[in-house]
């Protein structure tokens, strides 16, 4: 009997190993009966909010006089905006900044010999945020007319935004998911198979770019604010089981 135990144990071990191996092969086959596709959702849209900034500058040797001068210019800008239909709650003026100015001094040999106080520079920025995009665009171009009133003003390029991005994202995700399903179904049908349920999904990066430019997509996501007209896109990578 002792001589029979050894072959019996070996035989049982072989049977168990075969069962485990067969199960692993079956699991491997089932887990790889899938198809992966990438769906795309994209659309173009128009910004519904504009943010425009400008800057006022005054230089004066006397601090009090310079401060009074920039306050006077600020009132002229506020009046100009109001006359052009910009409401008070759409405009924000920053605190006035003050910097000392110095002139470099050099001796007869051209070597630096120190500096001399040359007065003050006062600065104040203003920001206009509005949903009337076309109107603010026009005002931002025409405000340079204030230069004729001895106002040192810089007008910057407006930034454009869209206030319904969350809704837009959901729409594009739905569109990308449908596109992925259509692609997967087309691939499987042409191969003579049947498409099953989705078993995995991975959302790509949300991109907002200029629809007419050659702007590159960013790995971390692009967010264009310089164009009023924009293009949004998102990808969804889907994995489906096969029946």
Residue 82 has pLDDT above 90, yes or no: yes
Average of pLDDT values for 191-195? 87
Average pLDDT score over residue span 185-203: 90
* Domain 33-46+163-242 in this protein, CATH class: alpha beta
pTM beyond 0.85: no
List the one residue out of 141, 118, 142, 140 whose CA is nearest residue 130. Answer: 140
- pLDDT tens digits, one per residue of 18-71: 444 344 334 444 446 889 999 999 999 999 999 999 999 999 999 999 999 999
Q: How far is the CA of 77 from the CAs of 87, 121, 126, 154, 175, in angstroms?
A: 13, 19, 9, 12, 46
Per residue in 96-114, pLDDT tens? 999 999 999 888 888 888 8
CATH architecture observed for domain 49-160:
2-Layer Sandwich (3.30)
Element at 72 (helix H, strand E)? helix 63-83
pLDDT at 149 over 70: yes
Which of 233, 224, 229, 217 has its CA nearest to residue 175?
A: 233
Query: Residue 236: is its pLDDT beyond 90?
Result: yes
Residue 3: other Cβ atoms inside 10 A:
6
Tokens read off for 201: 């999904």
Among 80-94, 116-130, 142-156, which stretch is predicted with the lowest mean pLDDT?
Answer: 142-156
Domain spans, the chain: 33-46+163-242, 49-160
Instruction: Give counts: helices (H), strands (E), the chain.
Output: 4, 10
The mean predicted confidence, pLDDT, of the chain is 86
R_g of the chain, CA atoms, integer Å = 34
Tokens, residue 168: 């837009």
CA distances from 119 to 69, 70, 123 (A): 14, 14, 14
| pLDDT band at residue 215 under the 50/70/90 scheme | low
Q: In this predicted structure, what is the pLDDT of residue 28?
A: 40
Pairing of strands 91-93, 112-130: antiparallel
3-class state of residue 112 by DSSP: strand
């Amino acid at each position: 009997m002792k001589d029979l135990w050894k072959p019996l144990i070996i035989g049982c071990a072989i049977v168990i190993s075969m069962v485990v191996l067969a199960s692993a092969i079956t699991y491997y086959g089932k887990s790889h009966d899938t198809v992966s596709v990438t769906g795309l959702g994209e659309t173009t849209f128009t910004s519904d909010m504009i943010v425009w900034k400008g800057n006022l500058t005054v230089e004066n040797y006397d601090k009090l006089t310079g401060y009074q001068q920039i306050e006077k210019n600020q009132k002229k800008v506020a009046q100009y905006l109001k006359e052009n239909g910009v409401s008070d709650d759409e405009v924000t003026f920053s605190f006035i900044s003050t910097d000392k100015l110095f002139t470099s001094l050099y001796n007869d040999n051209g070597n630096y010999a120190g500096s001399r106080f040359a007065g003050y520079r006062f600065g104040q920025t203003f920001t206009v945020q509005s949903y009337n995009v076309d109107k603010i665009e026009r005002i931002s171009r025409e405000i340079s007319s204030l230069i004729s009133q001895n106002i040192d003003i810089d007008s910057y390029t407006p930034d454009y935004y869209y206030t319904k991005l969350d809704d837009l994202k959901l729409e594009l995700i739905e569109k990308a998911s449908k596109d992925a399903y259509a692609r997967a179904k087309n691939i499987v049908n042409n191969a003579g198979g049947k498409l099953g349920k989705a078993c995995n999904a991975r959302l790509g990066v949300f991109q907002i770019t200029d629809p007419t430019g050659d702007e590159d997509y960013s790995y971390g996501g692009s967010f264009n604010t310089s164009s009023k007209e924009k293009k949004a896109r998102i990808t969804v990578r889907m994995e489906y089981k096969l029946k």
